[in-house]
Amino acid sequence: MTDKSSTKKFAGTNSAAPSGDGRIEISNVTKIYDPGGVNVCAVSDCSFDIEAGEFCVVVGPSGCGKTTLLNAIAGFHSISDGEIRLDGDVLCSATKMAEPGADRMVVFQNGALFPWCTVLKNVMYGPSVQGRMTSHQARAAALDILRELGLSEIGDAYPNEISSGMRRRVEIARALINDPKALLLDEPFRALDALTKGVAQEFLLQAYDRMKKTVFFITHDLEEALFLGTKVVIMTTRPCRVRKMITVDLPRPRTYKVRSSKRYLELKREVFDAVHEEALKAFKAGERELA
Ligand X SMILES: Nc1ncnc2c1ncn2[C@@H]1O[C@H](COP(=O)(O)OP(=O)(O)O)[C@@H](O)[C@H]1O
The site for ligand X (CB under 6 A) is made up of 33-34, 40, 42, 60, 62-68, 238
Scanning 60-68, 76-84, 225-233, 276-284 for contacts with Mg ion by CB under 5 A, the matching segment is 60-68
Residue 58 or 119 with smaller CB distance to ligand X: 58
According to DSSP, residue 132 is labeled S
Q: Where are the beta strands (DSSP E) in the chain?
A: 24-33, 40-50, 55-59, 81-86, 89-93, 104-107, 182-186, 214-218, 231-235, 242-247
How many Å apart are CA 275 and CA 257, to the nearest integer?
Answer: 24
By CB under 5 A, tell whether 67 contacts Mg ion: yes
Q: Which is nearer to Mg ion, 47 or 67 (CB)?
A: 67
Indicate whether 68 belongs to the interface with Mg ion (CB under 5 A).
Answer: no
37 φ, ψ (degrees, to nearest 5): -120, -105
Closest to Mg ion by CB, 67 vs 214, is: 67
Distance between CA atoms of residues 238 and 65, nearest Å: 6
Residue 177, contacted partner among Mg ion, ligand X, none, CB below 5-8 A by kind: none
Binding residues for Mg ion, how many (CB under 5 A)?
1
For residues 23 and 66, which CB has a smaller minimum distance to ligand X in the complex? 66
Q: Which does 42 bind (CB under 5 to 8 A by kind): ligand X, Mg ion, none?
A: ligand X
Q: Which does 64 bind (CB under 5 to 8 A by kind): ligand X, Mg ion, none?
A: ligand X
Stretch that binds Mg ion, among 61-69, 80-88, 112-120, 245-253 (CB under 5 A): 61-69
Which residue, 23 or 241, is less far from Mg ion as judged by CB?
241
> What is the C-alpha to C-alpha distance for residues 35 and 38, in angstroms, rounded to an integer?
7
| Distance, CA of 261 to CA of 272 (rounded, Å) | 17
The nearest distance, CB 66 to ligand X, in angstroms, is 4
Cα distance between residue 211 and residue 153, in whole Å: 21
- List, in sequence order, every residue forming a beta bridge with 40; answer none if it has no partner: 33
DSSP per-residue string spanning 35-98: TTTT-EEEEEEEEEEE-TT-EEEEE--TTSSHHHHHHHHHTSS--SEEEEEETTEEEEETTBPP
Choose from ligand X, Mg ion, none: what does 150 bind? Cβ within 5-8 Å by kind: none
Least distance (Å) from Mg ion to the CB of residue 239? Answer: 14
- Residue 129: how many CB atoms within 10 A of its CB? 11
Closer to ligand X by Cβ: residue 62 or 110:
62
Q: Is residue 44 part of the contact set for Mg ion (CB under 5 A)?
A: no
Contacts with Mg ion, residue ranges (CB under 5 A):
67
